Structure 1
Amino acid sequence: MSGAIHFSQLRHYLPLSTFPRAQLVELAELARIMEPADRSLIFEAPHEPFGESLYLLAGEASAVTTTGVAAIIEAGTPSAAYPLNDGRFRSVTAFSEVVLMSVPFELVDLMSTWDQLAVVERRSVDRATAFFSRGIPRRWSYGFFPALRNTPAARIEELMQSFVPQAVQERQVMTHQGEPAREFYIVDSGTALATRESPADEGESIELAQLGEGECFGVEALGDAPVSTATVSMISDGMLMRLPAEDFRRLQTPPQQALVAAAAAIELISTGGHWLDVRQRGEWQNSHLPGAYNLPLQEIRLHAGRLDPTVHYVCYCNSGRRAAAAAHILTQIGIAASVLSGHYRHVGGE
């Protein structure tokens, strides 16, 4: 196996399996395929490649777990569905005809956060709520994602709630080139046309793009020079999701949270606190901290009643990103929660 990987192959791996198609396409374009020689060392703690997630696509690898147990990982088996460097193993060595895939860890973690927190089909709550009219449908392309992806994880829900649905009609002009840009738009349905006047062509309009579901315009409103660089008008009736620029800027500052390092977190647990793993259920089943309770991020509002309101919870994930979003939600509903800084593997797993 060599060369590019098709996005559909990523559906066999976690946490990638639940990602919308557009996110898988982006990851597939960034994926690197590697074929290490038999008996060569893939990694050894404490020198794991933290900046990338390594998946076993083909062959067999030998490993030593963090508890010192030898193991064989075979491509296509359940144990190979997770990154080799997810904290389970002290070392991993290529054993036989190994093919690896490397994808950027930060991007995978960021996509996991948005997938669990903002994708409509992932949230098990009443879909009649205002938030659900402003979540992210899987049918969307992810053209909007680069403009919003750096929003602090604890603010993503509020960001989605700040979008206002706006019905639009064919030929309605939404932005004018050269005029102040005050709002950011995502196309929910219908099609928009972006054009730009060219002085060199005596003011004739040049078609830049037709924008469909999940694509965006007005990104200038979110930057330091909020002036529209194109005229955008509707070429069919439809629905837009409109975000005022002032709401976007307000939500780029993370809320104050109790961020705790491993030693302080262990102290909290020893004095009656509980670990709360907010990753996907499969991730928790694969590896987690001793005694940790799993409540996936997308289920926290629905199932917060399962938690003991008298207990302090230390939320964790693979980076602190999903944990920050979870702790913010718990704090809002009156449950004491802290965020474990960084990856839970810095504490130890089982």
Structure 2
Amino acid sequence: MSSANLFSASHPEIDLAYTRSLTPLKYMSEAHLEVLLASAQMQYLYAGQNVWRRGTMDGRSYFLLFGDLALDNASGTSITLKGRDSTAAIAPNEPREHDVTALSDCALLSLDAAQMDKLLCWSQVADYLHTKIARDRDMDEDVEWMMQVLHSNLFFKVPPINVKVIFEHMQVRLVEPGECIIRQGEVGEQCYFIKEGSAEVARQDNNSTRHIANIHAGRCFGEDALVNDAPRNASVTMTSKGVLMCLPKQDFYRLLRAPDVPRITLAALSELGDEPVVVDVRSEPEYSAGHYPGSVNLPLHLLAIKARLLSPTLDYVLYCSSGRRAEAATHLLQEDGIRVKCLSDCAQLFSHNTPVALESDKNYVLRAGRAAPGQ
């Protein structure tokens, strides 16, 4: 079995547009998806080769792009998976519950599962904020730069649950042409985002100054100060009048700590019957493939639009496949005055030894804030 970077010259047929047909990648912004695909791998197999054995763990998600696979579980049951019919990750739970073998020549897209989950959550919380900001007419001028901040690689290190408060820690700085913002060799104490204006990046080498780049609105600089203790490796000087948004190092460190949200275990939830209302914040295809009995689907990426269907007088429990999207949704809904908890052991719900029999033949919708059978 061989693997290569997704965007290597030997695999030009796999591109960004193609991956947007896959679940849940189709619910991720292009900027976040490009970051994810930068470390993706392609794997090719001949008939008879194994993808993995039961019990293995590698922390990756695999998508079948073409070819046929056989999935064999411990009881001897075999399922055939066909690339032309499959858009979801192949049996994603770990430890692996199946032996997976190629029945024909196959191509698989392999992604870091934890990175995919975090970027998916990041992207969908950004969608939530975009919708909320766009509704506020007083913030019309801020929508574009705020979205650029949220799509900056720097902030992907921040837990998605903290995305909303990034802007609360940013400070406005008005700057003039010729003003030196950071100097090479200094210890950095903050990073900057150019809201308006442009700047030049230059580096001093052997008593001569070398031009590195011109940067404009939408760019972040000085971010090394937030993640390293190394001195500044270049100087940045404004070439026009402008507005910078500044984030001090200590505020960034605070953003790395996720706040607590109220939680409930799967065992405790199972004992409560019809109360509270259980909400699945995954995408619709993920929900349809198997969900907690009686749960409704309220995808995180649509939360800003559909949260009005929830009642402030009822209690809700949110879950997803890993807990990350559920934690973020719990935090956001709490701020809107909804009584909500996050399922603390989401992964157990989808493991092979789950104590709950998932439903896939029924769906439920919210009516007056409660779960009701769908059409």
- CA displacement 1:177-230 (0-9 Å, x = unmatched): 3445343223456543222334xx23x323344435654212244246486443
1:106 aligned onto 2:114: yes
Distance verdict in 2 for CA 1:246–1:90, change over 3 Å: closer
Structure 2 equivalent of residue 277 of structure 1? 280
TM-score of the pair, normalised by structure 2: 0.75
1:345 to 346, 350, 354: 350
1:70, 1:252 → 2: CA distance?
44
Q: CA deviation at 1:156?
A: 1.2
Structure 2 equivalent of residue 177 of structure 1? 184
Q: CA deviation at 1:11?
A: 2.0
1:16 aligned onto 2:20: no
Structure 1 equivalent of residue 299 of structure 2? 296
Distance verdict in 2 for CA 1:18–1:214, change over 3 Å: farther
Distance verdict in 2 for CA 1:318–1:177, change over 3 Å: same
Q: How does 1:1-350 map to 2 (within 5 A)?
A: 3-6=4-7, 7-8=15-16, 9-43=18-52, 47=55, 49=57, 51-63=59-71, 71-77=79-85, 80-86=86-92, 90-91=97-98, 92-119=100-127, 123=131, 126=135, 128=137, 130=139, 132=143, 135-137=146-148, 144-145=152-153, 147-164=154-171, 170-179=177-186, 181-188=188-195, 191-198=198-205, 201-202=206-207, 204-212=208-216, 214-223=218-227, 225=229, 228-236=232-240, 240-268=244-272, 270=273, 272-332=275-335, 333-343=337-347, 344-346=349-351, 347=354, 349=358, 350=360
Structure 2: which amino acid aligns with 1:100? L
Distance verdict in 2 for CA 1:152–1:281, change over 3 Å: same
Structure 2: which amino acid aligns with 1:297? L
TM-score of the pair, normalised by structure 1: 0.79
Structure 1: which amino acid aligns with 2:270? I
- Report the secondary structure of 2:42's partner residue: strand
2:343, 2:138 → 1: CA distance?
28
1:66, 1:262 → 2: CA distance?
25
2:74, 2:137 → 1: CA distance?
46
- CA displacement 1:279-320 (0-9 Å, x = unmatched): 233332344332222222243344323123343322222321
- Report the secondary structure of 2:103's partner residue: strand
Distance verdict in 2 for CA 1:121–1:334, change over 3 Å: closer
Consecutive unaligned residues of structure 2, counting only runs of 5 or more, are 8-14, 361-375
C-alpha contact 1:49 1:85 (8 A) present in aligned 2: no
Q: CA deviation at 1:112?
A: 0.3
Structure 2: which amino acid aligns with 1:103? L
Q: CA deviation at 1:126?
A: 1.2
Alignment identity in percent? 25
